[in-house]
Structure 1
Amino acid sequence: MSNFSFLQNEWPAVYEAADKAANAVYPDPRTACFHARRALELAVAWAYKHDSALQLPYQDNLSALIHEPTFKTAAGEAVFNKARVIARIGNQAVHSARPIQAEDALVAVRELFHVSYWLARTYGRAGRPAPGLLFDAGVLPKTAPILQQTLEQLQKLEVELRTRDEKLATLLADKTALDEELQRLRVEVAAAKQAAIALPDTHDYSEAETRDYFIDLLLKEAGWALDQARDREFEVSGMPASTSLSRRASTSLSPRSRSLSGAEGSAVEGSAVEGSAVEGS
């Protein structure tokens, strides 16, 4: 059973890419991240093509599309942040020689599950996934009869797929020239979207997990391996302390924190250190 079965009927291309990503998480993490980003690209392009409320940005690359204000409003902060995570991991997989771990691939596929849920809940015409639907990492295959793809092979595949993709800018440049079938689908999609908006979205998008991982991702990009306990927390000595207040310096980085400071007071005894990195604009 695939985590993405609910996509199969209405979004077969997104389903195919998502399923490839899921099947490669452990056997080939780099390829999994590539296909996760590919599935996101297809999902976002579908939304722009079929939702007339979305305004095409000055460029139709993935970053510009997900940052466009009408898309951010439609998707909401949780889905937007998940899309950013998938895009960044996917970019690393294709454009960086750094090793891609199965942990990163698992995150990419997990976040893709939530983005896919949003897509199907918002635009599904034949039905919507159940609000309580959960991502099940246990169904991901640990092995697969596939050869790991090299960085060069993935870069070549990226170029081939981009060449085949229809250009949104060309397709949507003249809305009066949209073919009758697309116009009909847009009317159906608009009705489905309004029906979805009328219902509260009770799905658990696991926003805290996304925030925590995104901080880790930025730190890894900055050169922090985060593969040792000392990368997150270690004891310091020689800090001034009073009888009622000990001092903690944020010389270690932890994704559980929410701010970055030089030193902070704590009513808890001890000198364990904890801090965080915050994304810049």
Structure 2
Amino acid sequence: MTCRCWLGRPAAGWACAACSAKRFDLLVLRTQLSVLQAGTGFPGLKDKIQAIAGALEEQIAIPLIKAEMAFIQAVAGDEWWEDVTVPMLESARRRLRALVKLIPKGQKKIVYTDFEDDLGELTTIELPQVTAGLNMAKFKEKARVFLREHDSHLSLQRLRRNQALTPTDLQELEKMLLQAGGSKALIDEAREQSHGLGLFIRSLVGLDREAAMQAFGEFLQGGKASPDQIEFIDLIVQELTRNGVMEAGRLFESPFTDVNAQGPLGVFPPAKVTQIVQVLDDIKERAVA
């Protein structure tokens, strides 16, 4: 029997999983077009997608849905939709289209509506990787949240653990920023401002604390470090854990000068200060490569 779901006339619920996915594709496409064209129908389209996400939230017992629950809850909320972008919607389409079939049939009739528009002349519209008024500050915050949710990604782990990056790692990291909602223009701007994509992402996720401790382990070995030296190194580790990299000039600012007014020169011999600066440079270089 020919499936009639795509025509909007299912006899008993939405039995066809493929048609459920196609209808969701169409809904997301309309939303993407509304973002690009600043259409007045955006609020209604947003409500429909949020309703779908809300219906999925109720099916947490299903393993496939549970695996995407953090993302589903984000889409169901309002914060995710602030300055939403075409790439963000595309990511939602890809991640949720296979799940909509799992919504109980009775709920699907409520969540979805039939699309019955009068079709005019067909026009091909490109969907570029653009943002809808998304500024750099908001992009950073969205990227930070996305990267934290995908902390197990191999390339991101290499960056956080102070391991040298490969060209493939940099490509993967750029893909993650696109998935987080960044446009190519924003990513290029971030790369230029931070003097490298790895440095930009490291500034968002920080350096792994254990990796930072290992980098400065030689300064604390042997149990001969003074209390001031231990505190000074711990402050460096905290800075790296928080910001990912650290310029040598910070060593002569607070809170380091709170330990000693002369900064590192009042705590370590000159040769050790030179080594500390070299370690900081090495940590930075590993994020650039």
TM bucket normalised to smaller: 0.3 to 0.5
TM-score by length of 1: 0.32
TM-score by length of 2: 0.32
